[in-house]
Structures are given as C-alpha cells and as structure tokens.
Amino acid sequence: MHGVSDSVDLACAPPAAEPPGDAIQRLTLRCALFAFYGGGLLAVVGGPVPVQPGAHARAMVGGFATLFVLSFLCRMVPRATRTPLKRPRVAAGGAVLLLLAALADVAGAAEGAPVILGALWLGATVFWTASLGATWITPRAQRPWFGGWIGGGLVALAACGLLAAGAALVGWQEGLARVPAAILLGGLTPIALGLSVKMLPSLGGVGPARRESATVPPLLVATVGVSVAVGVVAADPFFCLLGELGLLALAVAALRAAGWLRLRDDGTDGAREARRHPDVRSVRWSGRFAWACLGAGLAVLLVGHGAQMWGITAVGTRSPALLNVLALHIVGVGFLVALMLGVGQRLLPGFVRADVRWPAVRDLPLLLVAAALGARVLAALEPTQAWALPGAAWLLLGAVVLVHLQVAPTIRAPG
C-alpha cells in the first residue's frame, strides 16, 4: 500500500515542479544522518579524539534529532500554509551549520573552542528562523488547524537554539551540559506532539484527528517550551516542574486529539482492511510505545525535580539527579526516536510513491529501540553491568541504520 491518508496527502503528493522545500528536506535529512553517524558512531567505536558524554548528547539531540524534525517541517510547513518555503538557501545553510556544530562538538569544540560552537549554533538558529519563520508568518499564508503546535514549537525551538548559542559563547560549561535536555524537552517535544497529532491518527488507521481537541494557542505551546528550556538550563527545579506539568497537559491534549490511538475501527470494511495492513499496524504500535515512554519519562522527571525542589536527597535508593538522567533517556529514545523512526519509515517512502524496503522487517527498528532503551535503563540502575551502555548504543545504531537503508531512495530521489 503506497498511499497515505488524507492527513498527510498534502505532504506526499509531488507536484510537477519540485518545490524548494522538498529539496531542502532531503538535504536536511542527509545532514541529520551524518550528525548521527558523526556523533553516535564515534562515541561507540572510538576515534582519534575521545568523545565526551556531553558532546555526544548535544550531537544526538541538537544535531541528529533536531535536523530530523526540521526535515519534516521543511515539507509540512509550506504545504500546510500553501506558501513556498521562503529563503530555501538560507535553510540549507542552517542545516549545514547544525551538522558542522555537531561534528565540531564531538571533536572537542565545547572545551577547546566554545566560541566557534556558539557561532555555529547562533547562525543555524538565525537561518532556520529566517526561513521557516518567514514562511509561517507570510501575510498570504493559511493557518492550518494544527498550527498552534507548530508555530509555538518553532518559537520554543528558536529560544532553545539561542540558549545553546549563548551558553557556548560565554563558555558556560555547566549550561552546555544541560543544553541537550533543554532542546529535547523545550523545543523538540512540543513540535513532535504537533506532528503526531497531524500524522498518527491517519497513518495509524484510527481516522482523522479530532480537530476541536487539537486546536491550541501557539502562545501556550511556546510558553511551555520556553519555560521548561529555561528551567533546565538554569537548573531551577521549580521552573522545570511548571514546564513539565505543561508538557504533560499538552501530551494529554494531543493524545486525546489523536483518538487515544484507539484499538477499535469505525466499523467500515475499508477501515478494517486498512488497519490490518502491516504498515498501519507498525505505525500504530510505534505511536503507542512512544506515548507510553513520554508519559513514563515525564512522570519520572516530575518525581526527580520535585524531590530536588523539596531538598530530598534520595528517592528510594536512587538520587533525584539519576532519575532525571534516566527520564531524559526515556523521553529522548523511547518517545522521540521511536516516533521519528516509526513515522519516517512509513511516511518518507510515500514522498516518492515508493514501498519501504524489506517490509518483512518493518517492526525490527521498534524492537531495537525498545531493547536499546531497556539496556540504557539497566546501565543507569545497575552500573556494574558494563555491557549495558555500549549495548544500548549499538542497538540504537542498528535501528537508525536499518531505517536509513529502508528509506534510502527517498533521500536520493526527487520528491
């Protein structure tokens, strides 16, 4: 089954002349994969310069995950607003700058040349804001029903980029260490919620999204994202708690709008047939896994930051700081990566009207992500298990490589 349903038909129907956003989408996706291999593979197999854990996390979140999400926005925002992507060459420059920032970080720029790292992040933030922001606010642009999620998320992501650039430019190493968590929670999670509201209901065969539940003010999304990002970078448990409660409320609203990823169909023969298709089933389970991890991660974050705010030094036998690190991996790997790979595996081939390669192993990436998350949790809870941390890295690497090979024609061919 090649086609995708009506919630993403605008994103998948290629016009006669390729819009500029489609070419930028492929370039950004290539940069995301290079950032992953540069930051992830070097951390796993080693290299001429040892990769610090903070640099690895920034390369994964600020490079790979951010570029992957931006690649979808390059295609979705112009089609949602019925406006061509503004300043596509500027967006292309922003993608290259983010890739260079990730590679410079794993090469030791945060310790040796933080000003260069900050300049790359600042340039990338300005370039992407100038392109996607101009497209979003152009006077003749239409405002889609899910626009509050995307518009507010773009504001929050730009604020996260400025926080990262500022911390690097002033050489604030403690702030740099907290940048990945700020980008993950404050910038990427709100946008991922909006994209899931748009894509998951139809890709997962549960019918169109409930638009009355999905309409949220962009100011609310931006406020939640910026507050949690500032709280994380400033290490203020109170602001972290407020932001995480806001994220939890947004997640509940998004899940309700997505029909709770319900198990039952709408009773029609077409719906039953669509829901039995392996591609649809795979996306639906990826969505359920991602939502479960988001809820679990936010709950653990609330416990950890709540304990820090009240001066509690241990929750059971674990420190609040350990719980926070564990929760960030649950959200980053279990929610964001599982959602990106699950939706990308289904949606990216649709851009060029192609089938996913090796459909028999379509569920394997999700299993690898789940195994990687389990190994990472074990590594945090039982430090004596020395195999768990590299095992988690290898499993995650295998999931991304597999999806990369499955959707490779999408990255090469015109959309």
Q: What is the arithmetic mean of pLDDT over 190-195?
A: 86
Q: pTM for this structure?
A: 0.85
Contact 235, 180 (CB under 8 A): no
- Cα→Cα distances 39→98, 104, 278, Å: 12, 10, 33
Q: What is the DSSP string of 140-175?
A: T----TTHHHHHHHHHHHHHHHHHHHHHHHTT-HHH
Condensed to tens digits (0 to 9), the pLDDT of residues 329-352 reads 999 999 999 988 888 887 777 666
> Could you tell me the two tokens for 48?
């001429």
Return the residue matching tokens 């500029």: 20
pLDDT category at 215 given cuts 50, 70, 90 is confident
177-181, 189-193, 275-279, range with the lowest pLDDT: 275-279
Count of all residues that appear for the chain in the document = 415
Question: For the domain bounded by 9-412, which CATH number is listed?
Answer: 1.20.210.10
Domain ranges of the chain: 9-412
pLDDT category at 13 given cuts 50, 70, 90 is very low
Q: What is the DSSP string of 231-246?
A: HHHTT-HHHHHHHHHH
pLDDT category at 7 given cuts 50, 70, 90 is very low
Return the residue matching tokens 């039982």: 382
For residue 358, give the 3-state DSSP assignment: coil
Start-to-end CA distance of the chain, whole Å, equals 18
31-45, 82-96, 323-337, 365-379, range with the lowest pLDDT: 31-45
Count CB atoms within 10 A of the CB of residue 20.
Answer: 19
The one-letter code for the residue type at 118 is G
**What is the Cα–Cα distance from 234 to 220, expressed in whole angstroms?**
21
Count CB atoms within 10 A of the CB of residue 84.
Answer: 13
**What is the Cα–Cα distance from 142 to 147, expressed in whole angstroms?**
9
**What is the Cα–Cα distance from 68 to 35, expressed in whole angstroms?**
10
> How much is the pLDDT for 4?
44
CA-closest candidate to residue 121, choices 58, 77, 74: 58
| Of 100 and 342, the one with more pLDDT | 100
For residue 145, give the 3-state DSSP assignment: coil
